[in-house]
Amino acid sequence: MTDINDTLETAAHPEKLRRVAIDPVSRVEGHGKVTLLLDEDDRVHQVRLHIVEFRGFEKFIQGRPYWEAPVMVQRLCGICPVSHHLAASKAMDMIVGATLTPTAEKIRRLMHYGQILQSHALHFFHLCSPDLLFGFDSEMARRNIVGIAAAYPEIARQGVLLRKFGQEVIRITAGKRIHGTGSIPGGVNKNVSIEERDYLLKDIEQVVAWSRESVGIARQLFEQNLDLYNNFGRFKAHTLNMVRDDGALDLYHGGLRARDMDGDTLFDHYDYSHYWDVIFEDVKTWSYMKFPFLRSLGPETGWYRVGPLSRVTQCDFISTPQAEQARVEFLAFNGGSASGATLGFHWARMIEMLHAAEVIQDLLHDPDLQGNDLVSKGKRQERGVGVIEAPRGTLIHHYKVDENDQIVRCNLIVSTTHNNQAMNEAIRQVARQYIDGRKLTEGLLNHIEVAIRAFDPCLSCATHALGKMPLEVELLDVEGDRVDVLTRSSDGSFCSWD
């Protein structure tokens, strides 16, 4: 009989390790499984966040016409489909050789910032505020948005309405709140009418004000629990994000900026159309997700963190005044401690939400939104790369299209994949902080979930080639002993336990 630890661990004495599985991770899109491997002294030796779901979009998009990609690939996610819609559209802009008209670019930006607003509101208010406001160990039945509505009715109401406003921005620019078709290769298929603009304008001042208050809530949480928020799952990481030419935070377009964990710049304003020269993807046999790393640092130490925390701390400034003030205060808070904390993600996320509200406000006053020059095209290209800063972090779409207009190759590196190793590291820190001997407590599990949720991962988004995924199906009895196992190797062969 194969020992349970043989297939799980590479430690010198795996027989002395105890396996602890937490599955599924609730309130994270898709499914994840966390494996904690303890050593003989009951210390957390290793952590693995297993991604047990894959979608296969990179494979089944092959053969499809290129103009279908922006609509098809957004089905990767129901929370931030606009990110995929726009990243694919940007890649297809390159395919058709287009330089966007001002109207097309501004409508896409409006769509994207509407997406940032609704996704960040959803994450903070619906998914995380129960943990943050009630405490990580509070009663499970209460830790949801309904519980928030009962205890903090005004906060819950604002969260719901902020998300609704963002969804209305998406509906007007994309045609539907979820999975619209507004962005097409080379531009957009509709402008924003005066009536539509005025419909959004009537609420935008309130949305900006509520977003500003949301930043205040995030700050208060830090102030009230300084030690906890500063140290919870804290770790140092390299960072990757996109910035505008002048170094400003820009979530729609720009160049790539990477800095090491000490803040030294590895590359800056890098043209993402050749991202593969600076980013590479490693593959592990035990996870569905790929492990991207910075080429210059190598696969072992080159992992990095993306998302709101990286973006807000690594940009030179934010172009809208209220969000910029919030950024400066965030960086200065307690000697800069919040900007390196895992729970600093939430504060940074609220700063981005405020920025999104301000950008939407500015765009709504721009007459280009009512323009009729919607689509452009130029010299046809074979390859297209689209990068966008999605709510959860940098999102890369890369396509190759043949002379018959069919997609022949696709590579997607989604935000959660970028954050893969960073999430493992955060969980490891939390597990080491909160594990109590050999006893697993609900509190420990809650803390691990809080660490995962700080990244706002979209686990459903991780993709892997169909048919090449090593899979293991195991059957455990009530004692945790394995009673059966079926394994598929990467060459497609199967072997069973016996």
Task: Note the residues at the interface with another protein (CB under 8 A).
Answer: 63-65, 67-68, 70-72, 75, 96, 174-176, 179-182, 184-185, 189-190, 375, 404-406
Q: Which is nearer to another protein, 118 or 230 (CB)?
A: 118
Q: Measured between alpha carbons, how far is residue 439 from residues 14, 40, 41, 135 in Å? A: 19, 14, 13, 21
The nearest distance, CB 409 to another protein, in angstroms, is: 16
Burial of residue 404 (number of CB atoms within 10 Å: 0-12, 13-18, 19+): exposed
159 within 8 A of 124, measured Cβ to Cβ: yes
**304-305 and 238-243 beta bridge pairing:** parallel
The nearest distance, CB 359 to another protein, in angstroms, is: 23
The nearest distance, CB 172 to another protein, in angstroms, is: 10
Q: Which is nearer to another protein, 403 or 479 (CB)?
A: 403
Q: What angle do CA 67, 87, 322 make, to 5 degrees?
A: 140
Q: Which is nearer to another protein, 261 or 408 (CB)?
A: 408
The nearest distance, CB 371 to another protein, in angstroms, is: 15
Q: Which is nearer to another protein, 86 or 315 (CB)?
A: 86
Q: Which is nearer to another protein, 44 or 98 (CB)?
A: 98
Q: Which long-range contacts (CB under 8 A, 24 or more apart) does 466-475 make?
A: 466/56, 466/59, 466/60, 467/59, 467/492, 469/54, 469/288, 470/285, 470/286, 472/7
- Residues 290 and 427: their CA atoms lie apart, in Å, by 18
DSSP 333-385: GGGGGGGGSTTHHHHHHHHHHHHHHHHHHHHHT-GGGG-S--B---S--SEEE
The nearest distance, CB 385 to another protein, in angstroms, is: 20
**Terminus-to-terminus CA distance in the chain, angstroms?**
7
- Residues 196 and 383: their CA atoms lie apart, in Å, by 36
- Residues 121 and 29: their CA atoms lie apart, in Å, by 16
Q: In the 8-state DSSP scheme, what is residue 61?
A: T
435 within 8 A of 417, measured Cβ to Cβ: no
Structure tokens at 356: 């999104």
- Residues 281 and 265: their CA atoms lie apart, in Å, by 21
The nearest distance, CB 397 to another protein, in angstroms, is: 15
Q: Name the nearest CA neighbour of 38 among 68, 64, 15, 56.
A: 15
Q: Which is nearer to another protein, 191 or 419 (CB)?
A: 191
Q: Which is nearer to another protein, 69 or 312 (CB)?
A: 69
The nearest distance, CB 73 to another protein, in angstroms, is: 8
The nearest distance, CB 380 to another protein, in angstroms, is: 10
DSSP 114-158: HHHHHHHHIIIIIIIHHHHHH-TTS-GGG-SHHHHHHHSHHHHHH
The nearest distance, CB 176 to another protein, in angstroms, is: 6
Q: Which is nearer to another protein, 34 or 76 (CB)?
A: 76
The nearest distance, CB 89 to another protein, in angstroms, is: 10
Q: H or E segment at 208?
A: helix 194-224
Q: In the 8-state DSSP scheme, what is residue 10?
A: -
Q: Which is nearer to another protein, 178 or 283 (CB)?
A: 178
Q: Which is nearer to another protein, 184 or 385 (CB)?
A: 184
DSSP 301-316: H--EE-SHHHHHHHSS
The nearest distance, CB 372 to another protein, in angstroms, is: 13
Q: Which is nearer to another protein, 64 or 295 (CB)?
A: 64
- The pair phi, psi for residue 54, each rounded to 5°, is -135, 160
